[in-house]
């Protein structure tokens, strides 16, 4: 029923359909996965216990309005955001496009969100105990973008299960420049200083860096070394891509923005494998980009991911797909002789 409703939303503009989905979830109209997760899926993510490694990627719930609803739907963990210190409208509409022939999405949203205060209030109002991460970013017109990340970390400290530092969206001009060595050292250095002060007051939680799939030779190794040097727990690979595979068939394939969905699967998994090969520091990797099946999830895990995330596939498959992905993943793990998710990580 919920999958049928998701398909019916295709009669609406993509962004209107997305907003309707969030409102429906807030009203309790979302699906509920009543079955306990298969024990083979139980794992840990940088020390956080998860019932399964299948998570919801950032971008779906930008303001942390419905994380508990998505946990009830069956996700092992949920990442909300990207949130910026001040509310911002984002880029002009239209800015979200369904590539139906390719089961893909292009977006140029531009970090539209209600700001940290609304995000923090929504996290404070949660009733569920599941794992919810906060994906933090910078305002487009900020005079100190690095300071915006520090502000996000401080404002949400103690409310989120983990943090993701998003420097890889292609839709905020200049943001991806923070992936260069000097800029990344400045960003992570200031975040490390703020985190040390917060830890001294009590408590800690993991911090991840989210990177683009569009990286040049040598950038993967530089990012790994810098992330490890400043004490982050891991890296999410990857955000959307600005590249356009020749296989795209949709008339909207030339729209500006980040491409997600199955056409991103191969590229993002290849980049994930590069990060795994460069990771001699025990960093935790999370695989994102193009996942639509249990086979896709296992491919990411084999490439080095301790957990996976998806979002775009739900546009076409509906929210019930998370249960199908989990069941398929559990069956494939057993069929390939693994006894746990951890055992399959990096076994490409």
Active-site residues: which are they? 169
Measured between alpha carbons, how far is residue 162 from residues 1, 57, 83, 114, 123 in Å?
33, 13, 14, 20, 13
Q: What string of DSSP letters covers 173-222?
A: TTGGGGGSHHHHHHHHHHHHHHHHHHHHTS----EEEEE-S---TTHHHH
Q: How is residue 183 written in tokens? A: 């800029």
User: Which residue in 59, 87, 14 sits closest to 240, CA to CA?
Assistant: 59
Phi/psi for 135 (5° steps) reads -95, 115
* Beta strands 258-260 and 104-107, pairing class: antiparallel
* Beta strands 96-99 and 104-107, pairing class: antiparallel
CA 306, 293, 238, 304 torsion: positive or negative? positive
Q: How is residue 11 written in tokens? A: 């009669």
Q: For residues 161 and 204, what is the distance between their CA atoms, to the nearest angstrom?
A: 9
Angle in degrees, 0-180, between the axes of helices 181-200 and 145-156, rounded to the nearest 10: 30
Q: How is residue 143 written in tokens? A: 């005079």
Under a CB-based contact definition with an 8 Å cutoff, are residues 277 and 293 in contact? no
């Amino acid at each position: 029923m919920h999958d049928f409703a998701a398909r019916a939303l295709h009669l609406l503009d993509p962004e209107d359909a997305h907003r309707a989905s969030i409102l429906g979830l807030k009203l309790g109209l979302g699906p509920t996965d009543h079955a306990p997760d298969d024990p083979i899926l139980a794992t840990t993510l940088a020390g956080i216990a998860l019932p399964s490694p299948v998570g919801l990627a950032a971008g779906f719930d930008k303001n942390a309005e419905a994380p508990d609803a998505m946990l009830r739907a069956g996700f092992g963990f949920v990442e909300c955001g990207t949130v910026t210190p001040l509310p911002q409208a984002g880029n002009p509409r239209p800015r979200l496009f369904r590539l139906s022939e390719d089961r893909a999405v292009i977006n140029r949203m531009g970090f539209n969100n209600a700001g940290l205060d609304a995000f923090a209030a929504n996290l404070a109002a949660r009733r569920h105990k599941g794992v919810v991460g906060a994906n933090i970013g910078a305002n487009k017109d900020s005079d100190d973008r690095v300071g915006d990340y520090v502000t996000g970390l401080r404002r949400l400290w103690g409310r989120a299960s983990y943090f993701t530092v998003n420097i890889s969206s292609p839709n905020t001009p200049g943001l991806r420049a923070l992936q260069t060595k000097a800029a990344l050292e400045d960003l992570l250095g200031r975040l490390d200083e703020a985190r040390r002060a917060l830890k001294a007051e009590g408590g800690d939680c993991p911090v991840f860096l989210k990177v683009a799939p569009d990286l040049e030779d040598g950038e993967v190794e530089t990012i790994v070394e810098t992330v490890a040097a400043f004490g982050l727990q891991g890296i999410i690979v990857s955000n959307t891509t600005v590249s356009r595979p020749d296989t795209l068939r949709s008339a909207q394939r030339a729209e500006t923005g980040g491409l997600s969905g199955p056409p991103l699967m191969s590229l993002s998994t290849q980049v994930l494998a590069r990060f795994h090969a460069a990771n001699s520091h025990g960093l935790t990797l999370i695989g994102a980009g193009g996942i639509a099946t249990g086979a896709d999830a296992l491919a990411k895990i084999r490439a080095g991911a301790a957990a996976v995330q998806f979002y775009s596939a739900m546009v076409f498959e509906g929210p019930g797909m998370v249960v199908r992905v989990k069941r398929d993943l559990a069956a494939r793990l057993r069929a390939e002789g693994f006894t746990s998710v951890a055992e399959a990580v990096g076994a490409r």
